[in-house]
Copies of this chain bind each other. A is one copy, B any other.
Amino acid sequence: MTGRFTVTYRVRSTAADIDARARAIAVEQSVEMPLAAIDDETVLSGIVGTVDGVTGLGDGLFDVRVGLATATVGRDAGQFLNMLFGNTSLHEDVVLHDVAVPDTLVDLFGGPRHGIAGLRHRLRLHGRALTASALKPQGLPSERLALLAERLARGGLDFIKDDHGLADQDYSRFADRLRACAAGVARGARATGHPTRYVPSLTGNLDQMRAQAALAREEGIDCVMLAPMICGFPAMQALVRSFPDMAFFAHPSLGGAARIAPALLIGGLFRLLGADAVIFPTHGGRFGYSQETCRRLAGNARRGDDGMKPALPVPAGGIALERVGEILDFYGADTMLLIGGSLLLARDRIVKETERFTRAVANHTPSQDRADGQ
């Protein structure tokens, strides 16, 4: 745990102020006190943040690169987030833009345990994009959700996940829902012969999530979802370590509010913590992420040059069936398309509509303009 890692903050500032702002951020994110009050040479040389560069981007925006001591992270993912953006998050004109994760932290957090290859292996599926949908609305009893799960599975989907609103509510307790939906998906999968996976959403505190993951494992489930910004980075770190056989899907809930660049938070940090698949709102849906943001996010998730496995990008958030071709052209085959509401609108025809989705993905012929630039 020696050495430093470089964090890039995107700061709105005047040119006259930017050098002072940069130094202030370097101090705030390390010792958080006046340097004149520090008499310890080791702290001054080894712990205080360094300004490694300032780049003007025009229009009053600057990228400030700060070197932080790796030793300050300890072994905790929460402390890593604290070091990256704890107090500086309180400055409204600063975005946490990027971080160059050093090898020691790659080794510590480990990234995806399964990644794209592991997810494909489970589905015995190579060469085409993957498909997913979500069980909703919350408020339905478990048996209704299980029936929906079965019908979606009969449509040939690869993954069927809980809506992130499904938690452990009285109208559908986690354990009941898990058993019912796992059985529903299994019935559908037997009908098609395709090994569709059910992905339950883990919620609550670490004790509760751990018990839920153990229950899922007992039911033969090998994929789970969580929302890192809701459960906290430390809980995710612990779960990924405790359940190395599980593939983890990361949900972006609360993640958009964090003034952390989505490409970094969802594509980068969630993967670093072990997400095998990262769900995010794609451009052109209900949310405002740009094409460029989505391209960078998918690129970060699929990186394979940093000692960690690539994670599967999962564009979602209001994809209409008609957009499957365009979306696949943009993201390429190492992608999972998550379509929820657009399938559910078919109501009684949902198996057929789901088949239309899974066929559209299976029969897609790649075109140009790939997100990963391949």
Write the residues of chain A forming the contact surface with B, with a CB cutoff of 8 angstroms. Answer: 1, 24, 28, 30-34, 36-40, 42-43, 46-48, 69, 71-76, 78-79, 81-83, 85-87, 89-93, 96, 136-140, 144, 163-165, 167-171, 203-208, 227, 230-235, 237-238, 252-260, 281, 286-289, 317, 340-341, 344-347
Contacts and interface: CB of A to CB of B under 8 A. Distances in A.
Number of copies: 2
Contact of A74 (B30, B36, B69, B169): B169
A56 B140 CA distance: 35
A123 to B, nearest CB: 25
A34 B75 contact: no
Contacts of A72: 138-139, 165, 167, 169
B344 A138 contact: no
B287 A86 contact: no
Nearest to A96: B257
Contacts of A254: 81-82, 85-86, 89, 258
Contacts of A168: 74-76, 79
16 contacts: A30-B165, A32-B164, A36-B345, A37-B346, A71-B139, A72-B169, A79-B168, A79-B169, A86-B227, A87-B256, A91-B256, A92-B288, A93-B288, A203-B234, A230-B233, A230-B234
Contacts of A90: 252, 255-257, 281, 287-289, 317
A141 B137 CA distance: 53
Given A92-B288, A206-B206, A281-B90, A344 B253 contact: no
A237 B170 CA distance: 19
A373 to B, nearest CB: 25
A237 B139 contact: no
Contacts of A93: 288
Given A37-B347, A258-B258, A260-B257, A82 B230 contact: yes
Contacts of A253: 82, 86-87, 89
Contact of A138 (B24, B31, B34, B257): B31
A175 to B, nearest CB: 13
Given A89-B253, A230-B86, A231-B232, A167 B259 contact: no
A319 to B, nearest CB: 13
Contacts of A205: 76, 78, 206, 232, 234-235, 237-238
B169 A204 contact: no
A37 B345 contact: yes
Nearest to A165: B32
Nearest to A259: B257
A237 B204 CA distance: 10
A81 to B, nearest CB: 6
Contacts of A289: 90
B234 A139 contact: no
